[in-house]
Structure 1
Amino acid sequence: MIKKVREKTKGWQIHKQLIVLILLTGMVSVLLFEVLWLNKWNIYEYVRQIPGLHDVSLDEDFWEDLRAEATKYDIPSSEDDKAGIKKIQPFLEQGDKYTGIYIYALKEGNYITGRFPKVLENVAFSTFFDMGYQLTGGEGEETYEFPMKFKNGYATVMVWFYHRVRFIYPYCIFSLTVSIGLFFTVILFFIKKKMNLVAELKDEILRMAAGNLRDSVPNMGQDEIGIIAEELDNLRAALQDTLVREKESRRANQDLITAMSHDLRTPLTILNGYLEVLRLNRNPEMHEEYLKRCLQKTSDIREMTDRMFEYALVFEEGEEPKVKEIPIKFFRDCINEHSDFIRLAGFQTEMEYTYVERWITGDKGMIKRILSNLFSNILKYGDKSSPVFIKGSFTKQSYILEISNTVKQQNTGVESNHIGLMSVEKMMHQLGGESTFSEKNGSFAVELKFSLVH
């Protein structure tokens, strides 16, 4: 049962946990006080044997001596009988300083004489008694009233005992202290536990600030502190992933620059050699061939630089697209323009369109770059002996563009590392679309999916 309650309260907010804890602890503290207070006289039976806590009211010898002494004295005639009151004083001195004895007329009930308990004459005890009396409702007082036989007749004797004050008032304070102490102990324990979590969270933040991102932030529950700890751990993981990717990107950049420097040096050296031959006018019959070779090397160099630009496009921070509604006509015009260009380069195209006047959401600049990347790949790696298939179709939610071509068996120049495709995938993601690439049996296919405007 406790386990179920604990599991249920894990997700509570801290202030809600504290309110419920205060209510429950308050109820338990009140119940504890009630149990202690209801059993006060049972406990008194054990402690009254302690020296200094002797209770005269429970002493049978005191009562027998009091009755025996009463028969030796005459009852004063009234409160004004000074001589009679003086003679009966030894009787009133029975008991100790916590005992008070008073005599009243038996029938009329008029006060005749009495002795005030001497302990109440002490200012400190009197103050303590007044506070305890208000706190306990007079629980420390004991009163006995009965008729007693004197030498000259009967009178009502009232005996007041204050022995229990020495126990009941300290016991009341003890019970209150235990109950209130339990209440504050539980509440302070709860607060201390939460403060320890805050301190632990601070240490985790300092650890992360010092550069340690390997160790995860421990689970701290499901309340506000737990949520902060969880989000801090997510931040740590994201930051670590960012640093790893940044390190990998930096290493990839360095590798690319190193590779490009090496790759560019070779064609530049060869190009420089051919140009030197042309400048010195050696082998005039080979000038045409050397010019063709120079043009080939410049083409190779341009391809390498294109790869560098594409790589930069993929790994740069990314621009925010200016998304707006674009008619399908703009899309088809761009495709037709690129199709005409690859046809001039010797490719054949077969196009299939569904002619519906619809609108898509996108960025015109990004769409042009996406198509430029795809058709540039066709020019570089496509087989001119096979047609390029281009198909545009609609679904309820999307406009789908499919482009497929046959890959030539031997590629000249620098081999592809798919940077262009990575660039396309990144831009499609920024536009909220989808891109799929597949290569099977020497055929390469691309599927682009754009959201339609409804």
Structure 2
Amino acid sequence: MVSFLLSAALFLWLQATGEGLLEHYLTKSTFIEKQEKSAIPKFKTYVSEHHLSLKDHDQITAWVRDAKYISLYIYSNHKLLYSTDGYTSTAENQKVMLQPSLTHDPLLSNIEFADTTAQVYMEYFFEYKYYHVITILGVILSFLFFIVLVLFFINRKTSYIGVLENEIKILEGGNLTYPITMKGNDELSSLAESINEMRKSFIERLESEEQARVANSELVTAMSHDLRTPLTALVGYLDIIEYKKYQNNEALTKYIHSSREKAYQIKHLSDKLFEYFTVFNTEDNDLEFETYDGIQLMDQLMDEQFMLLENNGFQVEWEPGSIPFRMELHLISFRRVFDNIFSNIIKYADTADTVSIQYGITDRWLMIHIQNTIKTEAQEVHSTGIGLKTCQKIIGQHRGEIAFTRNGNQYSVNLRLLVNTAPTHT
């Protein structure tokens, strides 16, 4: 389309410029005048050489056709006998008379025919020939310009295709950081953009997989260390019991009790590990979300946790929200988050200080803040962080965010989740 429009514009410009130059030349030269003056002598020569009479219309017509750009009129006794406009020597047409005022016209010539003398009048249009030439040249040049433009644009596209081919080969070689060249705004540029987005997605996926691999490797290393300690102690206690190396029944009971504690510790770690891999191997689309009344659900979840905290000697400061809202979530997974959070509180928090819990709605976000004081003996405890990673994964699946912060002996959990605050009707 661009090539056609440019070619059409070029043709119009060539036509206007050529006609202007031709008109200027014709007005300044005697070229056309010379051609007009030579036309009558040429016709006289033709009539003389061929011994034409006024009845030889076909031969006269043949001369006019060869001469081109001439209109010929032949009169005899002031009557029109021949005309290139179609008049003949019929009785009706012979009534067309030559006006007496035209008998002395300088363009009117007497020519001797084989049968009589006649007056010949010619009209000339020689300049039309050159206007036609200008038009033909304009068409040819515009067409050639169109072809050149089309080939130019095709060459640009084929060159771009070659660039894309080379860049795709670079990506195939493993260099995914090489960017795809973006040119134009057509199907090829759209294809290049899609390839580039696919490249970025693949890089993100590889990075995510690498991060998961590193995290799993660190997790396995940490879990191996955490499992090895109680497992070694458990094996030692069982060996003492098996080979009866205890001193008395009281010592036996102590070893059995210690073995039981180590077995429960191993079970707790294995449950956490199983929970971690269950959550991380679950796709977001596999979770079936349901809608719940936010205030009722939060009251129910907190009541369950408050009972556990109070049974373990904690005091709770609770500030519930008052704005009605509804939330979509997978209840089992969401409950698991609170189980992990409050089990850590029971394990590491100081019962001498209050556990502060509050939530509210801010710009359609459910904001939950939980804070506690870490007990002294737990200050140096190094955890594998399986529970925290599990919570982050679950909240991420719910399109929310969770953050764990520690400031001295103060530990905080901040969770936010998108909810619907629109009023509901029952």
Pairwise same-fold verdict (TM > 0.5): yes
Question: Relative to 1, partners in 2 of residues 1:39 and 1:284: Cα closer, same or farther, differing over 3 Å?
Answer: same
The one-letter amino acid of 1:360's match is: R
Q: Using the alignment, how far apart are the partners of 1:30 and 1:191 within structure 2?
A: 22
What are the superposed Cα offsets for residues 90-138 of structure 1, whole Å, 9 maximum, x if unpaired? Answer: xxxx9xx869997834652545899xxxxxxxxxxxxxxxxxxxxxxxx
The one-letter amino acid of 1:387's match is: T
1:386 — aligned with what?
353
Question: Relative to 1, partners in 2 of residues 1:405 and 1:79: Cα closer, same or farther, differing over 3 Å?
Answer: same
Q: Using the alignment, how far apart are the partners of 2:67 and 2:361 within structure 1?
A: 105
Secondary structure of the residue that 2:395 maps to in structure 1? helix
Alignment counterpart, residue 430 of structure 1, candidates 393, 397, 400:
397
- The answer to whether residue 233 in structure 2 is matched with residue 233 in structure 1 is no
Q: Using the alignment, how far apart are the partners of 2:322 and 2:67 within structure 1?
A: 110
Report matched runs for 1:315-330 at 5 Å: 315-319=280-284, 320-326=287-293, 328-330=295-297
Alignment counterpart, residue 287 of structure 1, candidates 219, 244, 252:
252
Report matched runs for 1:214-229 at 5 Å: 214-229=177-192
Shift of 1:273: 1.8
Question: Relative to 1, partners in 2 of residues 1:399 and 1:77: Cα closer, same or farther, differing over 3 Å?
Answer: closer
2:108 — aligned with what?
147
Q: Is the 8 A contact 1:388 1:405 kept in 2?
A: yes
What are the superposed Cα offsets for residues 137-184 of structure 1, whole Å, 9 maximum, x if unpaired? Answer: xxxxxxx98233679998534579999999776654332111123234
2:92 — aligned with what?
none
Shift of 1:446: 1.7
Alignment counterpart, residue 74 of structure 2, candidates 93, 104, 107:
104
Shift of 1:371: 0.6
Overall identity of the aligned pairs, in %: 23
Secondary structure of the residue that 1:444 maps to in structure 2? strand
Question: Relative to 1, partners in 2 of residues 1:37 and 1:317: Cα closer, same or farther, differing over 3 Å?
Answer: farther
Larger CA deviation: 55-64 vs 330-339: 55-64
Question: Relative to 1, partners in 2 of residues 1:111 and 1:254: Cα closer, same or farther, differing over 3 Å?
Answer: same
Question: Relative to 1, partners in 2 of residues 1:107 and 1:321: Cα closer, same or farther, differing over 3 Å?
Answer: same
What are the superposed Cα offsets for residues 317-357 of structure 1, whole Å, 9 maximum, x if unpaired? Answer: 5343413123533332322222222333x341223244859
Question: Relative to 1, partners in 2 of residues 1:148 and 1:423: Cα closer, same or farther, differing over 3 Å?
Answer: same
Secondary structure of the residue that 1:248 maps to in structure 2? helix
Question: Relative to 1, partners in 2 of residues 1:430 and 1:255: Cα closer, same or farther, differing over 3 Å?
Answer: closer
Question: Relative to 1, partners in 2 of residues 1:64 and 1:384: Cα closer, same or farther, differing over 3 Å?
Answer: closer
- The answer to whether residue 299 in structure 2 is matched with residue 332 in structure 1 is yes
1:351 — aligned with what?
317
2:90 — aligned with what?
none
Q: Is the 8 A contact 1:314 1:419 kept in 2?
A: no
Secondary structure of the residue that 2:304 maps to in structure 1? helix
Q: Using the alignment, how far apart are the partners of 1:382 and 1:365 within structure 2?
A: 25
Shift of 1:236: 1.0
1:135 — aligned with what?
none
Alignment counterpart, residue 34 of structure 2, candidates 37, 53, 58:
58
Alignment counterpart, residue 152 of structure 2, candidates 176, 189, 195:
189
The one-letter amino acid of 1:308's match is: L
Q: Is the 8 A contact 1:388 1:404 kept in 2?
A: yes
Q: Using the alignment, how far apart are the partners of 1:255 and 1:436 within structure 2?
A: 20
Q: Using the alignment, how far apart are the partners of 2:298 and 2:43 within structure 1?
A: 123
Shift of 1:378: 1.2
Larger CA deviation: 417-426 vs 238-247: 417-426
Shift of 1:194: 4.2
Q: Using the alignment, how far apart are the partners of 1:342 and 1:403 within structure 2?
A: 13
TM-score of the two chains, using structure 2 as the length reference: 0.70
Q: Using the alignment, how far apart are the partners of 1:234 and 1:313 within structure 2?
A: 31
Question: Relative to 1, partners in 2 of residues 1:391 and 1:79: Cα closer, same or farther, differing over 3 Å?
Answer: closer
Shift of 1:283: 2.0
Alignment counterpart, residue 405 of structure 1, candidates 362, 372, 379:
372
Structure 1 unaligned blocks of 5 or more = 1-17, 46-54, 83-88, 115-143
Shift of 1:360: 2.9
Q: Using the alignment, how far apart are the partners of 1:187 and 1:109 within structure 2?
A: 60
Q: Using the alignment, how far apart are the partners of 2:301 and 2:282 within structure 1?
A: 27
2:213 — aligned with what?
250
- The answer to whether residue 5 in structure 2 is matched with residue 29 in structure 1 is no
Q: Using the alignment, how far apart are the partners of 2:124 and 2:38 within structure 1?
A: 12
Secondary structure of the residue that 1:385 maps to in structure 2? coil
Q: Is the 8 A contact 2:318 2:357 kept in 1?
A: yes
1:297 — aligned with what?
262
Secondary structure of the residue that 2:376 maps to in structure 1? coil
The one-letter amino acid of 1:108's match is: H
Shift of 1:447: 2.8
- The answer to whether residue 335 in structure 2 is matched with residue 368 in structure 1 is yes
Report matched runs for 1:195-210 at 5 Å: 196-198=159-161, 200-201=163-164, 204-205=167-168, 207-209=170-172
Q: Using the alignment, how far apart are the partners of 2:275 and 2:42 within structure 1?
A: 117
Q: Using the alignment, how far apart are the partners of 2:379 and 2:256 within structure 1?
A: 18
Secondary structure of the residue that 2:378 maps to in structure 1? coil
Q: Is the 8 A contact 1:407 1:443 kept in 2?
A: yes
Secondary structure of the residue that 1:220 maps to in structure 2? coil
1:127 — aligned with what?
none
Q: Using the alignment, how far apart are the partners of 2:230 and 2:395 within structure 1?
A: 35
Q: Is the 8 A contact 1:405 1:444 kept in 2?
A: yes
Question: Relative to 1, partners in 2 of residues 1:187 and 1:150: Cα closer, same or farther, differing over 3 Å?
Answer: closer
What are the superposed Cα offsets for residues 356-406 of structure 1, whole Å, 9 maximum, x if unpaired? Answer: 594531332122111111012213322233232223445574554332111
The one-letter amino acid of 2:74's match is: Y
Structure 2 unaligned blocks of 5 or more = 85-104
